[in-house]
Structure 1
């Protein structure tokens, strides 16, 4: 009877040891999988920048944390390209081309409207230099609607005009490209206010 009892105990011990070994192996596999997954995710956040042919490791910031910054940067960039003009037809076309890569057809409609009304010809004929500076960009991160507040300066031969520039629209995430490195598309854009703040005559 004692022999049978010892055998049963040994069987139970072996069984418990086997189960324990299996559970431990499963835990090791799960931990290894999690660790490997984390390594892969971290590797995906790593990018290499070539400096004179030498790869330098750089760390990519969290996309979600950085996205609002990119949205505002894109809004600012578009307005800079669209409204910075000199009396040079090639420059105007190049600036407009770059700007229109960043916006939907609402940008093309505004461009064609200005062109048909002779605005760009007037810039050239009056030898005007037009610049714009962003005062603030208000962005609702929930519906991605923005309002741009800026100051437009029109420097002509005979006058210096300062205008208020207020526009609004929406931003949408799109795949990044060489022409749209931020991967942000401006949509349903329109000008709300472009009234004069001051007009100063120049005297020779």
Structure 2
């Protein structure tokens, strides 16, 4: 009997060792699969860009950060086209054409509104130069909503006016990038929230 009990004890011990080993192996496999999945997901968020066409040298960039920079650049470029204008009707028309490639019909509506108010005609008639400097661009990557904050400077022969500019809109990725829209991003539902004078400085005429 003691001999049989000893055999049973050893068999139970062997069974527990086998079960424990199996459970441990399963846990190790799950951890390994989880880590591998995480690594693959992380790698898919990166792009590799050849540096100066040299295939041995690559720059690794995070896709999320890259996309946010691309969005910001698209927004800033559009506003530069739209608000940085000299008193030259042909140049203004050229700038507006470039801007319209980056925005939907809402941009055309804003352009027509300013045109009806005589904004562009006034720039030419008063020999004024409009320039724009971006303060910041806030972008919600989940919704694509952005808010642009900038300072507009309108320089006339007799006066310099500084205006605050705040606009908002949404960003939509386009399936194809073109020479006219190298960012592959379209601004939609764009509108001017604020564009008011902050200060006026009289210039001396000699």
- TM-score (normalised: structure 2): 0.70
Query: How far apart in 2 are the matches of 1:180 and 1:50?
Result: 18
Q: 5+ residue gaps in structure 1?
A: none
Matches within 5 A, 1:123-202: 123=123, 129-134=129-134, 136-137=135-136, 139=138, 146=147, 148-154=149-155, 159=157, 161-175=159-173, 178=177, 179=181, 181=183, 183=185, 185=187, 187-190=189-192, 192-195=194-197, 197-200=200-203, 202=205
Matched residue count: 198
Partner in structure 2 of residue 13 of structure 1: 13
Which 5+ residue runs of structure 2 have no aligned equivalent?
none
- For the residue of structure 1 that corresponds to 2:203, the secondary structure is strand
3-state DSSP of counterpart to 1:60: strand
2:27 counterpart of 1:27: yes
CA distance in 2, matches of 1:87, 1:64: 38
Residue matched to 1:39: 39
Question: In the TM superposition, what whole-angstrom CA distance separates every residue of 1:116-147 from its partner, at most 9, and x where no partner exists?
Answer: 4555456567665432223x347496995636
SS state at 2:85 partner: coil
Shift of 1:111: 1.1
Match of residue 64 from structure 2:
63
On the 8 A contact 2:80/2:132 being kept in 1, the answer is yes
Q: 1:112 to 1:91 in 2, by over 3 A?
A: same
Q: CA deviation at 1:87?
A: 5.0
**Distance in 2 between the 1:87 and 1:16 partners?**
88
Deviation at 1:18, TM superposition (A): 1.5
**Contact 1:103 / 1:185 at 8 angstroms: preserved in 2?**
yes
